[in-house]
């Protein structure tokens, strides 16, 4: 790409990313700190990627998602996942009409733009299967007919890492469909005090709408046009390959620890998320720093560890850290 093209792209991105800056200001009225979680959700919106938020209760995961939805003119539905949830509770069913004598579809809450799947790992396998079709194909099948979901469509799921009783671990195929798995951590001492001052009263902050549906579709198109040179693409591929064949990258000590490396979908997710990260920084081009910044969220749920790694209390983040330190930019 010519220098002039990159300059024009840079100018366009700086102008368009102002919408996102305004959106961040509105979200910040209700949400204190948690910058990585908020940015992750926004990057998901800009790329059409689903997000999994994992953290203990009370860290404002649900509040953050509903606040993001309030800043946009998008349909938003919250579904509380429970062990007795049925697929029809999610996607809908066929209802008999006695007047016409025909069956007509009654669409479920999945027919929306943003779905908050609260405590997603509490629902049984059949519900997860129904959700997986909507995540993977952006469509829902009721009876014999498949219905396309209106763009943008995004699943934002939460899960609690502590409580394992009455939960169903998500299958690897479904985990791979999430663009990010974001670990939500406790706020800092200063943020905790700000939460107390802001939320310790009956009158809560209100959030204004910033983006229309057409704005989001336009910004998604802008993110797709962000420039990524061949060297950065090579770096993305090398990172994923190192997770599959660590020995070839001088990471032999990871071989007994990694059961499954990143899939080709991991490569595509790194590429798309890097563009979104560059957009949030007001740049029209991707750098290796963008790739490093989102590598943990993209790869932590895709790199599966062995029992040996679990016995040594080694996490996927530790493996990613080793890979990033070894693979040359």
Domains with residue ranges and CATH for the chain:
34-201+210-219 (3.40.50.300), 226-326 (1.10.8.80)
pLDDT tens, position by position, 147-186: 888 888 889 888 877 666 666 677 787 888 898 898 888 8
Residue 122 DSSP one-character state: G
* Mean pLDDT comparison of 33-37, 133-137, 286-290, 324-328, highest-scoring range: 286-290
Cβ neighbours for 236, distance < 8 A, ≥ 6 positions apart: 267, 270, 271, 274, 291
Residue 98 DSSP one-character state: T
Distance CA 188, CA 208 (A): 26
**Tokens in use for 292?**
């490093």
**Tokens in use for 119?**
């405590």
More confident of the two residues 267 and 137: 267
Distance CA 255, CA 89 (A): 43
> Is pLDDT above 60 for 3?
no
**Tokens in use for 307?**
């029992």
| Bridge partners for 96 per DSSP | 103
Q: Is 317 exposed, middle or buried (0-12, 13-18, 19+ CB in 10 A)?
A: middle
**Tokens in use for 177?**
């469909």
> Is pLDDT above 60 for 11?
yes
> Is pLDDT above 80 for 62?
no
Distance spanning both ends of the chain, measured CA to CA = 20
Distance CA 326, CA 132 (A): 35
For residue 231, what are the CA distances in angstroms to 251, 273, 328?
22, 17, 11
More confident of the two residues 241 and 174: 241
Q: What is the pLDDT of residue 292?
A: 92
> Is pLDDT above 70 for 255?
yes
Distance CA 319, CA 257 (A): 8
Taking residues 88-99, report their average pLDDT. Answer: 83
């Amino acid at each position: 790409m010519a220098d002039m093209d990159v300059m024009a792209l840079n100018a366009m991105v700086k102008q368009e990313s102002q919408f996102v800056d305004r959106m961040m200001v509105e979200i910040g009225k209700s949400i204190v700190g948690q910058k990585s979680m908020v940015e992750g959700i926004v990057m998901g919106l800009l790329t059409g990627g689903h997000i999994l938020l994992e953290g203990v209760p009370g860290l404002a995961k649900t509040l953050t998602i509903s606040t993001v939805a309030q800043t946009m003119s998008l349909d938003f539905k919250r579904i509380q996942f429970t062990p007795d949830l049925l697929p029809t509770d999610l996607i809908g069913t066929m209802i008999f009409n006695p007047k016409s004598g025909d069956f007509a579809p009654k669409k479920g809450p999945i027919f929306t733009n943003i779905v908050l799947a609260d405590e997603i790992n509490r629902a049984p396998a059949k519900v997860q299967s129904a959700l997986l079709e909507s995540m993977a194909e952006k469509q829902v099948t009721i009876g014999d007919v498949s219905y396309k979901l209106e763009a943008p469509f995004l699943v934002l799921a939460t899960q609690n890492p502590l409580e394992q009783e009455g939960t169903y671990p998500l299958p690897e195929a479904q985990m791979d469909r999430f663009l990010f798995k974001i670990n939500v951590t406790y706020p800092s001492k200063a943020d905790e005090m700000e939460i107390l001052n802001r939320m310790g009263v009956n009158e809560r902050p209100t959030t204004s709408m910033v983006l229309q549906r057409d704005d989001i579709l336009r910004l998604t198109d802008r993110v797709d046009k962000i420039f990524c040179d061949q060297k950065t693409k090579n770096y993305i591929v090398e990172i994923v390959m190192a997770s599959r064949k660590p020995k070839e990258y001088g990471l032999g000590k990871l071989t007994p620890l990694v059961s499954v490396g990143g899939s080709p979908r991991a490569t595509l997710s790194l590429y798309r998320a890097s563009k979104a990260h560059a957009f949030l920084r007001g740049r029209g081009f991707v750098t290796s720093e963008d790739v490093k910044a989102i590598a943990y969220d993209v790869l932590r749920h895709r790199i599966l560890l062995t029992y040996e790694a679990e016995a040594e209390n080694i996490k996927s983040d530790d493996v990613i850290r080793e890979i990033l330190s070894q693979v040359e930019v």
